Structure 1
Amino acid sequence: MTDPIVMALTLIMVGQILLSVPLLLVRVKKSIVCLPLALFLLASGLLAMEPIVSFQFPQWYQLYSALALPSLFILCPSLWFYVEGITSESPWKLNSKQGRHFILLWPALVISVLILLLPKDLHTAIFIEDADIADPFAITLLIGLLLIILLWLAQCVYTMFLVIRRLSAYRKRLKNVFSNHEGRELNWMNWFLFVAISTWLFSIVTLFYSSLFDDLLFTIRTESLLSLLLIWSMTHFGLQQKPGFLEGNNVGENIMPQHDDEESKVLYSPTKYQRSALDTEQSNRIAKKINDIMRKDKLYLDSSLSLQKLSSTIAISPNYISQTLNETLSTNFFDFINKWRIEAAKPKILANQDTVLNIALEVGFNARSSFYKAFKQETGKTPSEFRKHTI
């Protein structure tokens, strides 16, 4: 009999997915990045239904197992496409080159067909009773299944590497474009990756341990709970998250000029300024102009100030401004603006006539936490410590 707690966790997972996927599909017309997220959740939902099918509908288990296998090979590509989409500097689009990420899906489909061709009693012996099998066809199928699962594990590791590298480059790039990162940092993805890796590791360790010692190291409840956390984080945060490089997080209002994949590689590369025509004299003039307008017009007080807004105000290319900040002033847009904000906040902190939150909002921060972090980074002290040691 199936564990009632496992059944309850499974039903919650499936319910979350059934509620979330239609919402995502409705949004696809406005933002295509919702499509890979919907695909990820659909594949996860199909895999999550294993306890329900095996207990409530055993007569359909052979068909289910044939459908569940290809679903595994949809997870990694759809996760990568989603991360690629929400971190893209221009509206993300599907293209033919992305098909290579589904290369393992084709042999998985072949194995699924072979699973369907198995006699029902043989399928039951292999996938339900875990009995020893001498049938040559079944042995060949099991070898193919083992190989494809090992390849899937390798694909998971590679995808995690790509995602982590992409997120790292994305967060660095954010600092060259926006003065406030609230809603853009994708910190929830750190939690998601931790849960995903933990779930996969628990599953693998449990599988091998049970095969070697005929005992479960981690119970199915642990795996189900981790899977629920995985689905919850993806549905809860995924439904709220919009592409980070869209101005104001509104789809269609791109913060940077559109560019192809090759240009994106240049922008994310540390050597992105090698082809620039900006010389030292021009860079110094731009640096002076930026500092002058900050001093006179106090643009840093605008909490939504971005590289594009500054570019429009002083009529200088965003790339030239970014290059000047990075190479001439040895900083990035985010730290540069925050330094001006902290300098504006210091006399207000010393005056001690308002709350820290109000001061933070007055000088351009969107949150108390981001103000504290920037203040500590700039001065080495918290606002209260700064007041205490200065007065």
Structure 2
Amino acid sequence: MNIILGIGIGINLLAVFQLLKGKNSKLISTKIAVLINIVWFVRLIFFLLKDSEIALKFPLLLMLDQNLLLLDSVVLWLYSKSLLHTTKFKFKILLNFLPFTIGLLLSISMYFSVPDEFIVEQFIKLKNDITNNKSLFSIDVLVLFLVIITISTVYFVKSIKEIKKFNSVLYNHFSSLKNISANWILKFHSLWVSLFLIPIILYFINYMYPVINIGILLSFMITIQVLFSFIFNSNVLSQIYVSIPKKGIIKQDTKPINQFKNELDELKKALETEKYYQDENLSLVKLSSYLNIKSVELTEIIKYSEFENFYDLINTYRIESIKRELISSSEQIMIIAYDNGFNSKSAFNRIFKEKTGQTPSAFRNLNRNTSQ
């Protein structure tokens, strides 16, 4: 188990090093990712210390680690929130750390209210019970688990709201979302919440029917955490951060739709003739500069069109161009897709299926047979 803990500690330290030396080191998002790794690093260090003589010499260490579980969902939510607020930090954010602070103060208060010998004695008894696979039950542990689950669920819901806001901005400003989208955070956060549900269920099962080896369960949980640490940092290090100017996000306008008919016709004509959609990195700002108009004006034009957003507009033109080439040429499907602005095979296949109801190969075969 010490080897697994060492691997986890190494992953956290390496991730912190990579994040701090990267080009995004000054972003709030990066700093929060560093904070997440520090929290996990400290937790793994506590696990190591509990198996050493150091913890017996400093019993306070035996009472602090559980409070770190109150931080995970909070910092994951902060990371989600920071994607749209990359430069500012409001002092009221610190209020979200109140449960952790209260838990920490309670642990310190309990430490000073009982002798060190008693703490060590209870810890050794707990270790022996786990080794002997005795049935364990504690109201304190139950309350802690319930508090952790409640906090984790609340902040998971808050993370969903932040990612939805972020995705809305992306769809309004970018034609390709490769490595920009942050939906992976929600998947990761949901798995993290599940990680705490598993021990609660097994805890009660083992209380009634002591058939599960608690030692093996703890080893499994530590291994899963190390694996989660690897998954999180892999995604964070590949995440592309974008800066959206506030002036690019406009409020609902009351102008009539037909007022934008001429502008919309000009936009469509420009896309047909100049084929700006073939740029795989095309953004709202870049297209507005090509058209020599302000990004706010382009946003309004799209808003009053048949397209849902900028993402839908550009990918509609990409798919229409690809459909024509699939019928008229024998070029490989993915070469056609890349030539028309797609930079991801999975994104292309998904969007093509959404727009046509068919896979690219099925569309080509059906329409070629029809034309013959």
TM range (shorter): 0.7 to 0.9
Structure 2: runs of 5+ lacking an equivalent: 128-137
For the pair 1:226 / 2:224, whether they are aligned, the reply is yes
Question: How far apart in 2 are the matches of 1:319 and 1:72?
Answer: 44
Alpha carbons of structure 1 residues 370 and 82: separation in structure 2 relative to 1, 3 Å = same
Counterpart for residue 56 of structure 2: 59
CA shift in 2, pair 1:286/1:361, >3 Å? same
1:99 matched to 2:94? yes
Residue 108 (structure 1) aligned with residue 103 (structure 2): yes
2:132 — aligned with what? Answer: none
CA distance in 1, matches of 2:336, 2:206: 59
Matched, 1:353 2:301: no
Q: Helix, strand or coil: the match of 1:176?
A: helix
Q: Cα gap change, 1:127/1:157 in structure 2, threshold over 3 Å: closer, same or farther?
A: farther
Which whole-Å CA distance do the structure 1 matches of 2:20 and 2:57 have between them? 28
Work out which of the residue numbers 245, 248, 266 in structure 2 matches 1:256: 245
Could you state the TM-score of these two structures normalised by the residue count of structure 2?
0.84
Deviations 1:236-290 (A, max 9, x none): 22223232xx1xxxxxxx333379xxxxxxx6xxxx743x254323322332221
Are residues 1:309 and 2:309 paired? no
Correspondence for 2:188 = 192
In structure 2, do the counterparts of structure 1 residues 161 and 12 end up closer, same or farther at CA, with 3 Å as the change threshold?
same
SS at match of 1:103: helix
- Counterpart AA for 2:271: M
Q: What is the match of residue 171 of structure 2? A: 175
After superposition, the Cα gap between the structure-2 partners of 1:23 and 1:372, relative to the gap in structure 1 and judged at 3 Å, is closer
- Mean Cα displacement is larger for which, 368-377 or 60-69? 60-69
Shift in CA distance, 242/281, structure 1 to aligned 2, threshold 3 Å? same
Q: Does 1:325 align with 2:264?
A: no
Letter of the 2:202 partner, please give it. Answer: T
- 2: distance between equivalents of 1:200 and 1:184? 29
Which deviations, in whole Å up to 9, do the C-alpha atoms of 1:137-175 show, x marking residues without a partner? xxxxx9777656533332111111111232233223322
Question: Map of 1:208-287 to 2, 5 A cutoff?
Answer: 208-216=204-212, 219-243=217-241, 246=242, 254-257=243-246, 273-274=251-252, 276=253, 278-287=255-264
Alpha-carbon distance in structure 2 between the residues aligned to 1:346 and 1:29: 42
Match of 1:16 among 11, 28, 31: 11
**In structure 2, distance between residues paired with 1:113 and 1:334:** 53
The answer for the alignment partner of 2:71 in structure 1 is 74
Q: Quote the residue 2:364 is aligned against.
A: 387
- AA paired with 1:40? I
Q: CA deviation at 1:65?
A: 2.8
Q: More deviation in 165-174 or 372-381?
A: 165-174
- Do the aligned partners of residues 375 and 187 (structure 1) sit closer, same or farther apart at CA in structure 2, a change above 3 Å counting? same
**Residues 39 and 370 of structure 1: CA distance in aligned 2, closer, same or farther (over 3 Å):** same
Match of 1:134 in 2: none
Q: Does the CA contact (< 8 Å) of 1:63 and 1:116 recur in 2?
A: yes
Q: What amino acid maps onto 1:64 in structure 2?
A: L
Judging changes above 3 Å, is the alpha-carbon distance between structure 1 residues 55 and 239 closer, same or farther for their aligned structure 2 residues? same
Distance 1:47 1:156, change over 3 A: same
Within 5 Å, give how 1:25-64 maps onto structure 2: 25-27=20-22, 29-57=25-53, 58-60=55-57, 62-64=59-61
Q: CA deviation at 1:191?
A: 4.0
Given that 2:5 and 2:44 are in contact with CA atoms closer than 8 Å, whether structure 1 keeps it comes out as: yes
CA distance 1:18–1:93, change in 2 (3 Å): same
> 1:366 offset after TM fit, Å?
0.9
Residue 83 (str. 1) matches residue 60 (str. 2): no
In the alignment, structure 1 segments of 5+ residues that lack a partner are 1-5, 132-141, 247-253, 260-266
Query: Residues 211 and 92 of structure 1: is their aligned pair in 2 closer, same or farther, counting only changes over 3 Å?
Result: farther
Partner of 2:134: none
Q: Which amino acid aligns with 1:227?
A: Q
Q: Secondary structure at the match of 2:334?
A: helix
Contact persistence 1:108–1:148 (CA under 8 A): no
3-state SS of 1:207 partner: helix
CA distance in 1, matches of 2:159, 2:75: 12
* 2:355 is the alignment partner of 1:374: no
- CA RMSD, 1 decimal: 2.8
* Partner secondary structure for residue 49 of structure 1: helix
Find the counterpart in structure 2 of residue 264 from structure 1: none
The amino acid that maps onto 1:306 is: S
Supply the AA of the counterpart residue of 2:238: Q
The one of 241, 251, 273 aligned to 1:296: 273
CA distance in structure 1 between the aligned counterparts of 2:64 and 2:21, rounded to whole angstroms: 25
**Contact 1:43/1:72 (8 A) holds in 2:** no
Distance 1:83 1:215, change over 3 A: same
Match of 2:131 in 1: none
What is the TM-score with the length of structure 1 in the denominator? Answer: 0.80
Deviates more, 1:191-200 or 1:77-86: 191-200
What is the one-letter code of the residue matched to 1:233? I
Gap change, CA 1:145 and 1:191, over 3 Å in 2: closer
CA spacing shift, 1:148–1:201, aligned 2, 3 Å? closer
